[in-house]
Amino acid sequence: MPMTSSRLEAATRLDAVRGRITAAATRAQRHPDEITLIAVSKTHPATAIAELVELGQRHFGENYLQEALQKITLLRQLPITWHFIGNLQTNKTRLVAEHFAWVHTVDRLKIAQRLAEQRPFHAPPLQVLVQVRLGTESTKSGVEPGALAELLTGIAALPRLQLRGLMALPPAEHEESTQRYWFAALRELFMHAKRQHPTIDTLSMGMSADLEAAVLEGSTQLRIGTALFGERLQS
Ligand SMILES: *Cc1c(COP(=O)(O)O)cnc(C)c1O
């Protein structure tokens, strides 16, 4: 089958991102296989996701629930692992519990309790990351570092959830050294959390503009949108 131009573009972008990950892993003396690439497909159509699946990409992240559910339905025959990375309010927990494999943005026990109650019995445990708030202006969501330990202990005790680690969306910085400062702060919290909770093995940090800094500081899941799909179509 001849490659369409969008397919070719997708292949070129995916290769470029994989190349950046491999180069950063080499600098960090890490194996690139330790790092999962999550393609953040918000605002992009199901066809763009299907192209990347055909190129071997398996993990996809979505922020907006209604938009995500449409794509999940359209693409249900494809081997995709779906990650919910958007803001999570109590009225959205049921659909997240029913349709996603991972959630990156749990920041309160109430949300986790609802996810545990609503996770279908036939489904494997929902893989949970706790979003930590780093820096002041970045975002209103995320648990304060000082309240993290108690939240992790609460989540670890819940059924049908598997506590896997931490996620953060630090303030956007241009210098690699400043980017690393925030990622290093998250890694410190992660190392501490891991000692308390043996199921913790995942550090979700790094986006298109700062994936190198994230890999250098120990990221195990990169959430990459723009570098894989081009500029977002809206919002
Ligand atoms: C949109 C988004 C990303 C991807 O950002 P890019 O800069 O496009 O790579 C990653 N994580 C979260 C939580 C997002 O909302």
Q: How far is CA 67 from CA 44, 63, 64, 84, in A?
A: 10, 8, 6, 12
Pocket probe mutation, ligand 1, options 107, 207, 229, max atoms within 8 Å of Cβ: 207
**Between 97 and 171, the higher pLDDT residue:** 97
Query: Distance, CA 5 to ligand 1 centroid (Å)?
Result: 25
Q: Per-residue pLDDT for 139 more than 70?
A: no
81 class by beta-carbon count within 10 Å (0-12 exposed, 13-18 middle, 19+ buried): middle
Give the predicted TM-score (pTM) of the model: 0.96
Query: Is the C-beta atom of 133 inside 6 A of ligand 1?
Result: no
**What pLDDT score was predicted for residue 183?**
97
Pocket probe mutation, ligand 1, options 40, 138, 229, max atoms within 8 Å of Cβ: 40
Q: Which atom of ligand 1 is nearest to the CA of 105?
A: 13
Query: Is the C-beta atom of 40 inside 6 A of ligand 1?
Result: yes
Q: Which residues pair with 138 in a beta bridge?
A: none
Q: What is the mean pLDDT of residues 30-43?
A: 98
**What pLDDT score was predicted for residue 91?**
96
Q: Per-residue pLDDT for 138 more than 60?
A: no
Q: What is the mean pLDDT of residues 35-57?
A: 97
Q: What is the mean pLDDT of residues 52-56?
A: 98
Query: Distance, CA 22 to ligand 1 centroid (Å)?
Result: 20
- For 141, the token pair is 């969501």
Q: Per-residue pLDDT for 233 more than 80?
A: no
**What pLDDT score was predicted for residue 5?**
80
Q: Per-residue pLDDT for 206 more than 90?
A: yes
- For 35, the token pair is 């790092």
Please tell me what DSSP assigns to residue 136. S
Supply the residue whose CA is at minimum distance from atom 5 of ligand 1: 225
- For 136, the token pair is 């002041």
Lowest mean pLDDT, pick from 98-112, 116-130, 139-153: 139-153
Q: Per-residue pLDDT for 140 more than 90?
A: no
pLDDT digits (tens, 9 = 90+) for 96-114: 999 999 999 999 999 999 9
